[in-house]
Amino acid sequence: MITKINVYFCRVNSLAEENYLKAMFSLSNDKGEVNVNDLSKRLEIKMPTVTSMMKRLATKKLVHYESYKPLKLTDKGKKEAALIIRKHRLTEMFLVEKMGFGWEQVHEIAEQIEHIQSPELFAKMDELLGFPKLDPHGSPIPDKNGTMVWVAYNKLSECKAGDTVKLSAVINTSAEFLKFLNSRELSLGLKVKIKSVEPFDNTMVVSYGKRLSETLSHTVCERLLVEKV
């Protein structure tokens, strides 16, 4: 009688499971809680499916699940989610810095490559990039232990007329928004001076580079993170 023994202790998660973990991580509020409904909307997956996946992830010790209570990632779940985000952001950085893609082109590709199982591949990207701390959209890249250091930026929309700030990150990373920023020559690292703020609709008139008077809607200013200089 031969008994087959599974020697692969570190069973990896499926693509679907990884996408749930990542979505939970990024939707978590300060309490680390997520609602079934929010997850359902984010993933475009119906609520009953989310519930059943949460039960599965709970048996894998990745999620704390109790009926009708908000969902929480366990420490293990948080770490695994952060490591997927690490792969996502390293990939985006690699695509931009080493392959010449625009920052508006890389998210969709990274959404797939983040699921590749190859520590060597991502270690090599990291090395070739010189161990970057931020991705092309200014978001922090978690380290190998899944630790993510958040820098406390301000929204441009919360700054006042007369302030001079440095563009440091974007909140929305949709291709449309990034293409809009490209069209205005707005990129990370840029110094921007706020000339005036329209009190009625919070539209801002700003100057930067060769552009001495550009008007940015509140919607845009809310999605730009800056540092005071």
> Interface with DNA by CB under 7 A: which residues?
14-17, 35-38, 40, 44-54, 56, 65, 67-68, 70
Q: Are 156 and 169 in contact (CB under 8 A)?
A: no
Measured CA to CA in angstroms, residue 84 lies from 25, 40, 193 at distances of 10, 20, 37
37 interacts with, out of a copy of itself, DNA, Mn ion, none, CB within 5 to 8 A per kind: DNA
107 is a site residue for Mn ion (CB under 5 A): yes
Count of residues engaged in binding a copy of itself, rule: CB under 8 A: 18
100 is a site residue for a copy of itself (CB under 8 A): yes
36 interacts with, out of Mn ion, a copy of itself, DNA, none, CB within 5 to 8 A per kind: DNA
113 interacts with, out of DNA, Mn ion, a copy of itself, none, CB within 5 to 8 A per kind: a copy of itself
107 interacts with, out of Mn ion, DNA, a copy of itself, none, CB within 5 to 8 A per kind: Mn ion
Q: Min. distance of Cβ 117 from DNA in angstroms?
A: 14
Q: Min. distance of Cβ 138 from Mn ion in angstroms?
A: 11
Compute the distance between CA of residue 52 and CA of residue 206 in angstroms, rounded to an integer.
49
Q: Min. distance of Cβ 88 from DNA in angstroms?
A: 18
The sign one gets for the Cα dihedral 152, 158, 159, 165 is positive
17 is a site residue for Mn ion (CB under 5 A): no
Binding to a copy of itself in span 114-133, by CB under 8 A: 116-118, 120-121, 124-125, 128
The H-assigned helical ranges of the chain are 15-27, 36-43, 47-59, 75-97, 106-113, 119-128, 175-183, 218-222
Find tokens 């366990």 and name the residue. Answer: 74
Compute the distance between CA of residue 33 and CA of residue 17 in angstroms, rounded to an integer.
18
Q: Are strands 164-170 and 191-197 parallel, antiparallel or unpaired?
A: antiparallel
Token digits for 55? Answer: 């039960």
| Contact range with a copy of itself by CB under 8 A, out of 3-11, 108-116, 152-160, 164-172 | 108-116
98 is a site residue for a copy of itself (CB under 8 A): yes
Q: Min. distance of Cβ 34 from DNA in angstroms?
A: 8
205 pairs with which residues across the strands? 196, 215
